[in-house]
Amino acid sequence: MQETSIRSKTQRAIELEERFGAHNYHPLPVVLDSGLGVFVWDVEGKRYYDLLSAYSAVNQGHCHPRLVKVMQEQAARMTLTSRAFYNSVLGDYARVVCETFGYEKMLPMNTGAEAVETAVKMARKWGYEKKGIPRDQAKVVVCEGNFHGRTISIISMSTDPDSQGGFGPFTPGFEVIAYDDIPALEKALEDPNVCAFLVEPIQGEKGVYTPADDYVEKAIAACKKRNVLFICDEIQTGIARTGRLLCGIADEERDPAKRPDVVILAKALSGGMYPVSAVLSRHEVMDVFTPGTHGSTYGGNPMGAKLAIEALAIVKDEGLIANTQRLGKIFRAEMQKLVDQYDFVKLVRGKGLLNALVIEPRTAADGSPKTAWELCLLLRDNGLLAKPTHGDIIRFAPPLVITEEQLMECVNIIALSVRQFA
């Protein structure tokens, strides 16, 4: 009796989504209902470790009590003013973000894609007004395998056929080069019409592709030499995820010549409570925006601003950078044991608590596929949620509030599932 009513709850939710929702995602079959810290619960009451963290948006853990409190208080006070007026939180928020990340100015938006669009607009205008690029000739250099979001202009720079196919005509002005390839970058930068190089310090969606340790440093130097803006998309890698505040630079680096000109943040900026994104840069770049040239109704709203202040304070107060650094090393060492033990487990890569396990897809004796998807179903059955990318890669990115004991429990679940999968 219990069993049927439980099954029907899950079935009902899935059927409704499938029937009335657009099929632009292929979710793992589990229906989540609540979350706390590193755990989520499905509608049957079964508990799972969340090793996706909403694509690294809930670095601070699900429903962090401090964020819940701020949200409740601010919801009862004021949520939206628009930018037609000043509000009592945005100024404090802007200061906290600039001081935390070491930039002079910030521009608030909501989603990651909006912030990427903002950075591209800013770079183009900077190219015309400050670099002297002839009108409508500005180019932005991007990398193969990039993921920067889903708008028309952003998919115009994508090399993923699923993201791009059928959505043309595309926005011109992007040039794609190989990732983690400094000579290719130097060559592309010879074109005087290049205004910016936009790059992820680790390609998360591509499958946690981790470039050479000095890639960002060298790319920044190459851009400086050619008077080109280096735009770092830290939407997935930023805010302690890789064991640093920002993945692209050391926390203590304050020399402007060695830092990205522009940083894009979103996802964990609000700890998963509300869409909050931001573009950071220096005066000379940000000042190309003047009243009327750019905007967003919700961007900089007091609810999002207040949540972001608290979300950043939690990262600091709970020592999430140090925790992530330490546990990331343990996690990769444990995964390496699986790589050594099983032929079909190819490698582990990543930084901090943004890691991926690469497996070799196979076919079972009965002809059924054994890909990363099937392994993720096993993980789910064993109480851990992760999502495959590209059939052979599983990303593991727990909330950064995870403890060593919890992490080792996750390691045991992964090891058990891999053994069952072998």
Ligand X SMILES: *Cc1c(COP(=O)(O)O)cnc(C)c1O
Residues with catalytic roles = 147, 233, 267
Q: Which is nearer to ligand X, 133 or 264 (CB)?
A: 264
Residue nearest to ligand X (CB): 112
Q: Which is nearer to ligand X, 204 or 299 (CB)?
A: 204
Burial level of 377, CB count in 10 A (0-12/13-18/19+)?
A: middle
Binding characters for ligand X, 49-78, by CB under 6 A (x = yes): ------x-----------------------
Binding characters for ligand X, 252-271, by CB under 6 A (x = yes): --------------x-----
Distance between CA atoms of residues 1 and 9, nearest Å: 13
Distance between CA atoms of residues 162 and 158, nearest Å: 9
Closest contact distance (angstroms) between CB of 207 and ligand X is 12
The reply to whether 42 sits near ligand X by the rule CB under 6 A is no
The reply to whether 148 sits near ligand X by the rule CB under 6 A is yes
Closest contact distance (angstroms) between CB of 202 and ligand X is 9
**Binders in 205-224 for ligand X, by CB under 6 A:** 205
Closest contact distance (angstroms) between CB of 264 and ligand X is 7
Closest contact distance (angstroms) between CB of 149 and ligand X is 4
Distance between CA atoms of residues 263 and 269, nearest Å: 13
Among 126, 147, 289, 421, which residue sits at the site for ligand X (rule: CB under 6 A)? 147
Instruction: Select from 41-49, 199-207, 382-390, 398-406 the region that touches ligand X (CB under 6 A).
Output: 199-207
Among 61, 145, 149, 248, which residue sits at the site for ligand X (rule: CB under 6 A)? 149
Instruction: Select from 141-149, 177-185, 312-320, 362-370 the region that touches ligand X (CB under 6 A).
Output: 141-149
Among 204, 260, 350, 388, which residue sits at the site for ligand X (rule: CB under 6 A)? 204
Length of the chain: 422
The reply to whether 117 sits near ligand X by the rule CB under 6 A is no
The reply to whether 235 sits near ligand X by the rule CB under 6 A is yes
Instruction: Select from 59-67, 106-114, 238-246, 406-414 the region that touches ligand X (CB under 6 A).
Output: 106-114
Closest contact distance (angstroms) between CB of 101 and ligand X is 16
Closest contact distance (angstroms) between CB of 397 and ligand X is 11
Among 42, 50, 117, 233, which residue sits at the site for ligand X (rule: CB under 6 A)? 233
Distance between CA atoms of residues 404 and 409, nearest Å: 9
The reply to whether 236 sits near ligand X by the rule CB under 6 A is yes
Q: Which is nearer to ligand X, 196 or 411 (CB)?
A: 196
Among 59, 87, 111, 270, which residue sits at the site for ligand X (rule: CB under 6 A)? 111
Q: Which is nearer to ligand X, 209 or 331 (CB)?
A: 209
Instruction: Select from 4-12, 34-42, 107-115, 181-189 the region that touches ligand X (CB under 6 A).
Output: 107-115
Instruction: Select from 63-71, 147-155, 304-312, 412-420 the region that touches ligand X (CB under 6 A).
Output: 147-155
178: left (phi over 0), alpha (psi -120 to 50) or beta: beta
* DSSP collapsed to 3 states, the chain: CHHHHHHHHHHHHHHHHHHHCCCCCCCCCCCEEEEEECEEEECCCCEEEECCHHHHCCCCCECCHHHHHHHHHHHHHCCCCCCCCCCCCHHHHHHHHHHHHCCCEEEEECCHHHHHHHHHHHHHHHHHHHHCCCCCCCEEEEECCCCCCCCHHHHCCCCCHHHHCCCCCCCCCEEEECCCCHHHHHHHCCCCCEEEEEECCCEHHHHCECCCCCHHHHHHHHHHHCCCEEEEECCCCCCCCCCCCCCCCCCCCCCHHHCCCEEEECHHHHCCCCCCEEEEECHHHHCCCCCCCCCCCCCCCHHHHHHHHHHHHHHHHCCHHHHHHHHHHHHHHHHHHHHHHCCCEEEEEEECCEEEEEECCEECCCCCEECHHHHHHHHHHCCEECEEECCCEEEECCCCCCCHHHHHHHHHHHHHHHHHHC
Closest contact distance (angstroms) between CB of 338 and ligand X is 26
Instruction: Select from 46-54, 97-105, 143-151, 343-351 the region that touches ligand X (CB under 6 A).
Output: 143-151
Closest contact distance (angstroms) between CB of 158 and ligand X is 11
# chain residues binding ligand X, by CB under 6 A: 15
Are 71 and 307 in contact, with CB atoms under 8 Å apart?
Answer: yes
Distance between CA atoms of residues 354 and 210, nearest Å: 10
Binding residues vs ligand X (CB under 6 A)? 55, 111-113, 116, 147-149, 200, 204-205, 233, 235-236, 266
